Amino acid sequence: MSAFFAIIARDVALAFRAGGGALQAVSFFALTIVLFALAVGPDLALMSDIAAPVLWTSALLATLISLEQVYRPDREDGSLDVLAETSDVLALTAFAKATAHWISTGLLLTAATPILALLFNIEGPALWPLLLSLLIGAPGLSLIGSFAAALTAALPRAGLLIAIIVSPLYAPILIFGAGAASAGAAGDPQYGANLALLGASSLFAAIFSPLASAAALRFNLD
């Protein structure tokens, strides 16, 4: 079990060192939201309406650009062999890698959300559904995304391929995540159902993504 936490601690540390993806992801997240806000203009009512879809899409894109960093460096410097030969259950190692990715991107994006949401006139009680939906949905983004990263670990410049693989798989999380945030802010009774389906999507990813990642990694060791 100490290996599990050692992998998380190392990957989070690497994400914040030079060349790590954490600050890039959060900067990209901020940039997209600011650009959207500039493009929409000064209509406050419209801004509150589109806040949830804009923040959710930006979070998804920011996650996407950081996925290449999950497994490719490990394969390029030989660390993947070390992880494989010390791992009892490769799926558990994959789960640790996905958890580290969530901490260094998803959690960071969630933490930056209260400030960026101000640009879309979201504050006070309307903020909570947005934060809650990101807290529940972002782990699913990291889990599914790390599977695509495992599949493409051996390919240079796999960023676009990763985007093509994960986009359809991300659709349920985006729909229920943005849906929950919008419904919650509007006081719509659909809020609970959307949150429950979002949670179900993340849990489904938590079970199947590590197993699929492990199979993809075994293939990539050859």
The HSE-up count of residue 139 (CA atoms within 13 Å, CB side) is: 18
Tell me how far apart the alpha carbons of residues 208 and 95 are, in angstroms, rounded to a whole number.
10
Shorter beta-carbon distance to another protein: residue 10 or 115: 10
Select from 110, 82, 79, 83 the least CA-distant residue to 94: 83
Binding mask 83-122 for another protein (x = CB under 8 A): xxxx------------------------------------
Q: Min. distance of Cβ 9 from another protein in angstroms?
A: 8
Stretch that binds another protein, among 7-15, 35-43, 101-109, 172-180 (CB under 8 A): 7-15
What residues contact residue 183 under an 8 Å CB cut-off, 6+ apart? 129, 189, 190, 191, 194
Q: Min. distance of Cβ 13 from another protein in angstroms?
A: 7
Determine the residue type at 132.
L
222 touching another protein, by CB under 8 A: yes
Q: Min. distance of Cβ 151 from another protein in angstroms?
A: 18
Q: Min. distance of Cβ 221 from another protein in angstroms?
A: 5
Tell me how far apart the alpha carbons of residues 23 and 69 are, in angstroms, rounded to a whole number.
13
Tell me how far apart the alpha carbons of residues 14 and 49 are, in angstroms, rounded to a whole number.
37
19 touching another protein, by CB under 8 A: yes
What token pair was written down for 140?
A: 């699913």
Shorter beta-carbon distance to another protein: residue 81 or 123: 81
14 touching another protein, by CB under 8 A: yes
Q: Min. distance of Cβ 65 from another protein in angstroms?
A: 19
Cα separation values, 165 from 23, 131, 146, 161, 219, Å: 24, 26, 11, 6, 17
Shorter beta-carbon distance to another protein: residue 80 or 126: 80
Residue among 12, 20, 56, 58 that touches another protein (CB under 8 A): 20
Shorter beta-carbon distance to another protein: residue 86 or 190: 86
SS3 71: coil
Residues forming the site for another protein (CB under 8 A): 2-3, 5-7, 10, 13-14, 17-20, 73, 76-79, 81-86, 221-222
